[in-house]
Amino acid sequence: MLTAARHGSIEDGMTNAINERLPALIAKDFNAVISALVPVIENGRTTPIVAAEVLKELGRIRNVASHWSRRWVLERALRSPWPFTRDGAGLGLARLGDPGAIPSLRRAVETETHSQTRADLQIVVDELADLIPDGEPVAKRY
């Protein structure tokens, strides 16, 4: 899947090898898939654009059983050395729609050195905060 993605075209909103194949792989055995993906993403064994696409898709997948594992991967990837990968992690967390990730995202915003990525991560924080229904400050809940 990753090799196919690297040789193919990855464009926002368009079908590619990752968004075509990853959901089925996660549904089949998310533990094995996530265990295999983490070192690839963290050790830079694929390109940042492919890693970012994997992270975006991990957030998009609707699979309750793997929710926590996927959130764990996404939060870890916020500390990637590559801005593109950190951005992908933020986009994945936005799609995951879990306000529980807000503290990790806030820390990422505080330490982010790339101004554009910092602004993009802040958008994710703001959107996830909007998901909290009763208007209670996020800091009190998470």
- Contacts with another protein by CB under 8 A lie at 12-15, 19, 56, 91, 94-95, 116, 119-120, 123-124, 127
Token pair listed for 43: 């050790």
Question: Which residue, 91 or 105, is less far from another protein as judged by CB?
Answer: 91
- Provide the 10 A C-beta neighbour count for residue 111: 11
What's the min distance (Å) between Cβ of 28 and another protein? 21
Question: Which residue, 38 or 138, is less far from another protein as judged by CB?
Answer: 138
Cα four-point dihedral sign 45, 104, 56, 13 = negative
Question: Which residue, 56 or 71, is less far from another protein as judged by CB?
Answer: 56
What's the min distance (Å) between Cβ of 17 and another protein? 13
Residue 24 zone, left/alpha/beta (φ > 0; ψ -120 to 50; rest):
alpha
